[in-house]
Structure 1
Amino acid sequence: MTVLAHGVGSRTDLPLPLGLALYGAGAAILVSFTVLLLFWRRPRLGDATSGHPLPPWVQRAADSTVLRRCLQAAALAVAVLVLLVALAGPRDPADNLAPWVLYVTFWVGLVPASLLLGPVWRVANPLRLLARGLRVGAGPPRGAGRLPELGLWPAAASLLAFVWLELVYPDRSEPATVAVFLLGYAVVHLAAAAWFGEEWFARADGFEVYSTVLARLSPVGRRDDGAVVVRSPLTTATAAPDAAGLAAVVVVLLGSTGFDGLSRTVWWQAGPGAADDTLSGTLGLAACTGLVAVLYLLGTRLSGRLGRLPLRPQPRLYAASVVPIAIGYTVAHYFSLLVLDGQRTWILASDPLGTGADLFGTAGNVVDLRAVGPDLIAYVQVAAVVLGHVVGVVLAHEKAMRVAPRAPASDQLPLVVVMVLFTVAGLGLLFGF
């Protein structure tokens, strides 16, 4: 089944020696840090009050309750269709629309949509519409107001559950599995929203939080006064608050993409993952996520100790700097999947139930493997990883300038070293090193 073959490439896809790519990537980060040390000695990025307002009609559309409800209703209709196809469509996963929509079009497509337009899933989340309908006549939620204590930790757990399904569970591509996941996910989150209120989705719905995290690097954002503005993506990244649990969310994203690359290496397939079972996959995913967490905590704590900052908030303070790194890994791993395997969604959408229909005239099409060449894929992968880490170094330096303006910039070196390790390991796993 190819729906989960993420198309992250192999060592032979790289149009230059892997060693040169690794050395070059590490050097790019160290050179960037050196330039920052010399020329970036005070905060330079904007804040939550900066940005150029978009036209009034854009503001009205962004604030329109009617538009939000229409988008949520449309998303709900698509979700119901996908569920119907998963239950009553073709049994062969390769011919069933549901796995392709969930794992490719939605999960991967959420990345470019959120980077370009902002937190789109917060606006179009159909669970919000269902929760509002179920709440009619039920009175106020009993647990309202208790969520701030949890931060984004529930979202981290929600994302971990999904990536486990996507990367570990053997029958993940089976239509029945997709149907069970969609129903179970909806029931769990609707039940929680009935207790905590609609704020639950902003803190615990893994997909909504994922979209919001990605949107930290979108040029579209909101100022403190609520105006929809266009501003530098770096400004947006620093203007958004660093909520508790944000570091856990990005650690899950980094750890899961790391395991995705590891699971495709010869070492894994011939060694720990030879059994190709749920246990080995679960342990591998847990180990990769745990390793990323330890390295990140070590880097932030050492940087904080050198800067004489309190230890407790260190992971949260630098969480924004890890977001572009997570996005870089995500783009590197899923770019070719969206461009190539994403074509399957539009092909199967013409005949979703396998009845011989051809609603959009695409049922007879085949995936065009020439849509993007291996050289371009490799260049995008390397550029995404390196750029993500360079931007992460910039954001970490900016944060340090704000929270400890008198501390030597060299205090950030432990965190930079960790970023270099992430870069080298990420590229090595990406290309089957």
Structure 2
Amino acid sequence: MELPLHSLNHCLEFERAVLWLSENLSFDVDARVNLFEGNIRVLGGLVSAHILATDSMNRLIQGSYKNQLLDLAKDLGQRFLPAFDTPTGLPYAWINLKYGLMKNETTETSTSGCGSLILEMGALSRLTGDPKYESASLRALRKLWSMRSSLNLLGTTLDVETGEWIEHSSGIGAGVDSFYEYLFKAHILFGKEDFWRMFHSAYLAVQKYFRHGPWYHEADMRTGKATYWQLTSLQAFWPGLQVLVGDIEAANSSHREFVHVWKKFGVLPERYLLDHQMVHPTEKYYPLRPELAESTFYLYQATKDPWYIEVGEAIVDSLNLYTKVEGGFASIRDVTTMQTEDHQHSFFLAETCKYLYLLFDDSFLVDRNYIFTTEGHPLPVLSAWHERLPEIYIPSNRTCVKKEKPKRASAMSLQVCPALSLNSRHGEQLVESACHIPDA
């Protein structure tokens, strides 16, 4: 079967990029990098691209491929490991790629920074057969979970040497967001039930202590009392995660509030004060973040409601109207004036554009189950990676069992029902959501 011309061009571009990276990219450089960002952007990108390069269904490489991307990923993963050499197993936030841990390095890190490494490093271990990457990230994740409060809440920042919390206020936004995301996605990708148990407890605590109607404020991890009433743009990922869980109603409710704020300004401000209904005076910017587009994509996949397509079109129109410049797209410095600045984050291409593209054309997702990392890199759900593969993720069981009334499928083109109890057999015990807490 011959590939269409446009597909062939894409394959040539991909193959050219792989060859360029293999010949020009080296991590043997004197550079202090953020472990979390390097993991989700660089390591995750290399691992995902390697999997796509070796996927016979996609045939993105027409010539011979000699695992160059995996070799680069392994080299980078090896350079990350010294960060985990702490009394707690919690990794330092910064590491020098050439010299390892630097003298007098800060011991402060975030919950996301040490709790959102399992997907990329776990995948690297599965691909190389070397368990040390997954083991390091798993030890850190379990240590972090052991530090939760009696309310099953976690703070925002902590000390990796003492294992003590520095910031006790917490929420679903910056500093914590991808911790929740990775617990559930790790369950999907690796099939470990302890990931599910951790996530379920954490999710219920979020719904109990952070949720206020369609909004999520921040609260003290020790008491559950509200600390900050604010919307942050990173919180917009939450409805997408709720779709994977099967909590469609709650996802739709929050998503519509984010859309309302987007329409109010034309883009989503970085921080919006809910109690004053105004933009935060010092965080008025919009750095082309993807989270609203991401949740829009998930909700459309789950419901097929055309309203989400309209939202996607509105987002595209706003980006073209306010942020498009010669040579690319610019971040907005101030959403009240739409003043731009000469900066385009890598996540704009890795996530914002990708999720908008998939919203309108999800053919990439047909006949293959994927989860996306927090940087938007696709990782296939493979039975070989599972200790125990829940039946709801097996491709042959794609359709939710229908009883008295149909239940919505949730999760991209997976068309699976994460809302099913893991103890159910063959979809016999359907529930609306595994984690839904009804409104009071």
Structure showing the higher helix proportion among its residues: 1
**TM-score normalised to structure 1 length:** 0.27
Higher relative contact order (CA 8 A, sep 6+): 1
**TM-score normalised to structure 2 length:** 0.27
Structure showing the higher strand proportion among its residues: 2
